[in-house]
Structures are given as structure tokens and as C-alpha cells.
């Protein structure tokens, strides 16, 4: 259990599959340390591609902490504008998330995983999943396992649309 700060080697760039993979990952249980580590790398390189933070929902006492960790690169970019650069951010208004039934870091983690699963499923099949058996009632482990199975399928062997 730890927040993960992924540091990227901007000189190395992308691998043969077109992915920029972390050169190293730093782990901490302290949210503020995760923010400091990421911001230090962003400051050092001046690039929004230099670091990301992956919060561990179990270590976030509230949604505010989860948002702070997830939005660290967007916050840095707001303070250090780069012409032409843009990065998305999670909405930080709890009322927004309440409309989705999300009131805790665990529920937000589930919601985001289900959204990622749906996006990948659509990418592979052309349609959104129906009757997948996954919902907010599913455990995070169930959702992660289904996502991993889907992600590991070759693109032309994706699931058949219902």
C-alpha cells in the first residue's frame, strides 16, 4: 500500500509499442511527500510528461486528498503555464461526485476503474459493455481483474459485442 510517483525519462521517450514507461517509481504513504516528489521532477524538467502520481485510495482519508494527488500535474501546469500544453483534471467538487454516488476515495476509485473498463471495451469492440456484471457493488479487485483480462486480449481478439 503506497502512493506511487512515476518518474519518466524524457530522453528515452517511448518504447517500441508507443508507450512512455516510468524510468522509476517512488512509493510513499505520505500524500504531501508524493506531491513534493512529483513537483520536484516537474520543476527540474519543466515538462508535464516528467511525473505522474497514482494515489492509493486506501491511504486517502477523504476525496480532497485523492483529488490533490491526482491533480498534482494539472496544478503544476496552472502555476507554470506552457504554451500549447493542456492536461485534464478530476473535478474537485464533492457535489459533482455525489451525483454519481461517489462519496469516498474507494467509491471514486471504483467509478474511475469502471469508466476505464468501459472505454477500453469500446475501443476493442466499438460499443460500450452491457451486462458485464461489473458495477459500483463490485469490489475493486473484481473490476481490476476484469480490466486486466480485457487489456491482455490482442486487439483483434477482443470480446464480442452483446
In angstroms, rounded to a whole number, what is the distance separating the alpha carbons of residues 11 and 50?
10
Residue 80's φ and ψ, nearest 5 degrees, are: -135, 70
Neighbours of 162 (CB within 10 A): 10
Contacts (Cβ under 8 Å, ≥6 apart) of 106: 57, 58, 140
51: left (phi over 0), alpha (psi -120 to 50) or beta: beta
Residue 51, pLDDT score = 98
In angstroms, rounded to a whole number, what is the distance separating the alpha carbons of residues 139 and 110?
8
38's enclosing H/E stretch is: helix 31-45
User: Could you list the pLDDT tens digit for every one of the 162 residues in the chain?
Assistant: 999 999 999 898 888 888 899 999 999 999 999 999 999 999 999 999 999 999 999 999 999 999 999 999 999 999 999 999 999 999 999 999 999 999 999 999 999 999 999 999 999 989 999 988 999 999 999 999 999 999 888 755 556 655
In angstroms, rounded to a whole number, what is the distance separating the alpha carbons of residues 154 and 150?
9
- The pTM score is 0.87
Neighbours of 3 (CB within 10 A): 26
Residue 155, pLDDT score = 59
Residue 151, pLDDT score = 86
Cα separations in angstroms, 138 against 18, 53, 143 = 32, 25, 7
In angstroms, rounded to a whole number, what is the distance separating the alpha carbons of residues 130 and 159?
12
Residue 131, pLDDT score = 86
Residue 157, pLDDT score = 56
Number of helices (H), then strands (E), in the chain: 6, 3
Give me Rg for the CA atoms of the chain. Answer: 17
Amino acid at each position: 500500500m503506497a502512493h506511487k510517483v512515476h518518474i519518466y525519462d524524457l530522453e528515452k521517450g517511448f518504447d517500441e509499442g508507443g508507450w512512455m514507461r516510468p524510468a522509476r517509481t517512488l512509493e510513499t504513504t505520505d500524500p504531501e511527500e508524493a506531491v513534493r516528489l512529483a513537483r520536484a521532477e516537474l520543476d527540474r524538467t519543466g515538462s508535464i510528461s516528467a511525473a505522474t502520481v497514482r494515489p492509493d485510495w486506501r491511504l486517502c482519508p477523504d476525496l480532497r486528498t485523492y483529488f490533490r494527488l491526482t491533480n498534482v500535474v494539472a496544478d503544476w501546469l496552472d502555476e507554470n503555464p506552457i504554451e500549447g500544453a493542456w492536461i485534464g483534471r478530476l473535478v474537485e467538487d464533492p457535489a459533482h461526485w455525489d451525483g454519481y454516488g461517489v462519496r469516498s476515495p474507494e467509491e471514486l476509485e471504483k467509478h474511475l476503474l469502471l469508466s476505464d473498463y468501459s472505454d477500453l471495451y469500446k475501443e476493442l469492440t466499438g460499443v460500450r459493455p452491457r451486462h458485464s456484471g461489473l458495477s459500483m457493488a463490485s469490489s475493486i479487485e473484481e473490476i481490476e481483474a476484469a480490466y486486466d483480462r480485457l487489456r491482455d486480449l490482442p486487439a483483434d481478439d477482443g470480446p464480442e459485442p452483446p
